Amino acid sequence: MRVTDTSDLWWKSAVIYCLDVKKFLDSDGDGVGDLQGLATRIDYLAQIGVTCLWLMPFYPSPGKDDGYDVTDFYGVDPRLGTHGDFVEVVRTAKDRGMRVIVDLVINHTSDRHPWFVEAKRSVDSPYRDFYVWRDDPPPKNQQNTVFPGEADGVWTKDEKSGQWYLHSFYEHQPDLNVANPRVRDEIAKTVGFWLQLGVSGFRVDAVPFLLEVPEGAEMANPHDFLRDIRRFLQRRSSEAMLLGEVNLPYEQQVLYFGANDDGQELSMQFDFVAMQRLYLSLVRGDPAPLISALTARPELPVEVQWANFLRNPDELTLDQLSEQERQEVFEALAPDERQRVYGRGIVRRLPPMLNGDPRRIRMAYSLLFTLPGTPVLFYGEEIGMGENAEIGGRAAVRTPMQWSGEPGGGFSGAPRRRLASRPPSDGYAPEHVNVADQIEDRGSLLHFFRDLISRYRISPELGWGRFDLIEQDAPAVMAHSLTADVGRMIALHNFGDSPATVRFRLEGEPEGVSLVDLLGAERVDVGEQHDVSLELPAYGFRWLRVSRPGDGRLT
């Protein structure tokens, strides 16, 4: 790996920051965040060290699924701004060293999308075949949607024609028929359109559903479709990437990288498995569940990458844990039924789940940045925002960004009743948790993030390196190293609530090797036999750069 590789495959050492424009900053006082507001906060994001913005859907939408119900793939929601404003955001972000990726929601449209409106007009409509229909009623025990309880099943009757249309998600989100070449053309044009406006890639929504081919349709291998999108993307922009949402076991995820086939598919995938097992580890004070995921990860080609995250805009899904494990996490982190949804997930943010314990919160984020892969943050994590339990459902974690200590958090000047969402009023209210206060406070979580990210950015081995567990005998500690040809980093994390002594031998290192503590000023002694022994406080963590004589690295 050359240093130039890290700029070609930039997303392998990026810091991705997901935000909802509607909830970020309202510049015109209508209660809804907008692109102009976001543009004025690009410097803030650059100062944290964010290198890539992921914008959640900002397209025209009736807003029944927070913008994931799109009525125009090529548009901008007029409340959020114009294409001109969008280009200004992208341009300013680029100037501050940040790329922009956008959500690509092409599994379905809103039922108010002109294609669906047209499709429903008549069975002979040229748009009819943009969607998936069946003549016969679905079986009585038809398949559930992704949101159990929100609809009777995945098929809903269109009263006019008597046919049934498919929707993997809400009833108001009819699935597009990707077996139709005209649909595939529109998707390619959508990709081309946003690339032309300057984006560097896409977060691809609901990929496995997108690739489901309707019964009876002719499409030999749906993965060909994903490969086509990827080929098209790369033809238009060599730097562009696809970050896919594929919440499946590893054996199946591999297929979506295209790793078993010739041709490339997704460049990155969220690691839902490791995320879920990480929570189990936090709850148990035992790194073993997380380790079992990391060691089970399949081998991947160098061009692809895992995206690690602790929270995202959705429920914290626990669907890949066993029933018993899920209950264990529920009881510890979401004791109240109202904090759970769909029988599988938690609608809380991380700090309240960890009872606001700064040691645990910082340990969790330190871990996130040292897991092999690329970290993805959800807006507000850098200041430790909590959820608004009064809102309920997934919207509880999608509250306005808290810029200042005013009751509305400085998000908007609009009266409370017009706000796109409301901040919490408990201990996580803006008066307790906000950017302005934390900027002033060197000991704040915000400064912790800045420090962490600045060290992460000078340590590309974190994103590129080979993962190895280091043998040591403190059971509550995970000791691992990431090794690339640029160098090696050792990370120690204590999941336990009591101090631990970590002893290990630095294998395979030359004489004169030393360890540089990247997060503190302390030196770490390496004994003659390369034996290391150090103390970690409860929930303590260390980042140790392996410094070899003459390796010329600046710390």
Task: Catalogue the active-site residues.
Answer: 205, 245
Binding to ligand GLC by CB under 6 A, coded x per residue (else -) over 241-270, reads: ----x-------------------------
Distances (CA, A) of 295 to 281, 288, 289, 298, 306: 15, 10, 10, 8, 13
CB atoms within 10 A of CB 241: 26
Choosing from 314, 325, 381, 387, the residue that interacts with ligand GLC (CB under 6 A) is 314
Using CB atoms, what's the residue nearest to ligand GLC? Answer: 68
Q: How far is the CB of 274 from ligand GLC (least distance, A)?
A: 18
State the number of binding residues for ligand GLC (CB under 6 A): 9
In whole angstroms, the minimum distance from the beta carbon of 205 to ligand GLC comes to 5
Q: 63: alpha, beta or left, given left = phi > 0 and alpha = psi -120 to 50? A: left
Q: How far is the CB of 65 from ligand GLC (least distance, A)?
A: 5
Nearer to ligand GLC, 340 or 480 (CB): 340
Q: How far is CA 439 from the centre of its chain?
A: 25
The least distance separating ligand GLC from the CB of residue 241, rounded to whole angstroms, comes to 18
Residues 482-541 that bind ligand GLC (CB under 6 A): none
Q: Using the minimum distance from each CB to ligand GLC, give the nearer residue, 19 or 206.
A: 206
Q: Which of residues 217-246 bind ligand GLC (CB under 6 A)?
A: 245
Q: Compute the C-alpha angle 416/418/422, nearest 5°.
A: 55
Of the candidates 58, 169, 194, 369, which one interacts with ligand GLC according to CB under 6 A?
Answer: 169
Q: Which helix (H) or strand (E) holds 431?
A: none
- In angstroms, the CA 448 to CA 445 distance is 5
For the CB of residue 68, give the shortest distance to ligand GLC in the complex, in Å: 3
CA 95 to centroid of chain Cα atoms: 24
Question: Residue from 39, 104, 199, 206 that binds ligand GLC (CB under 6 A)?
Answer: 206
Q: Which two tokens stand for residue 213?
A: 């081919």
Is 10 within 8 Å of 51 (Cβ atoms)? yes
The HSE-up count of residue 550 (CA atoms within 13 Å, CB side) is 4
| 446 counts as binding ligand GLC under rule CB under 6 A | no
Closest to 48 in 3D by CA, of 520, 445, 385? 445
Q: Is 387 in the site for ligand GLC (CB under 6 A)?
A: no
Candidates 34, 205, 271, 315; binder of ligand GLC (CB under 6 A) is 205
Identify which of residues 80 and 489 has a Cβ nearer to ligand GLC in the complex: 80
- Report the C-alpha gap between 347 and 197 in whole angstroms: 34
Interface with ligand GLC includes 65 (CB under 6 A)? yes
259 versus 395: smaller Cβ distance to ligand GLC:
395
Q: Per CB under 6 A, does 68 bind ligand GLC? A: yes
**Whole-number minimum distance, CB 70 to ligand GLC, in Å?**
9
Q: Looking at 32, 39, 105, 536, which residue binds ligand GLC (CB under 6 A)?
A: 105
111 binding ligand GLC? (CB under 6 A): no
SS3 of residue 328 by DSSP: helix
Q: Which of 184, 236, 222 is nearest to 73 (CA)?
A: 184
How wide is the angle at C-alpha 296 spanned by C-alphas 293 and 299, nearest 5°?
Answer: 130
Provide DSSP, 2-23.
-HHHHHHTGGGG--EEEE-GGG
Is the Cβ of residue 165 or residue 169 nearer to ligand GLC in the bound state? 169
CB 308 to ligand GLC: min, Å: 16
Instruction: List contacts with ligand GLC (CB under 6 A).
Output: 65, 68, 105, 169, 205-206, 245, 313-314
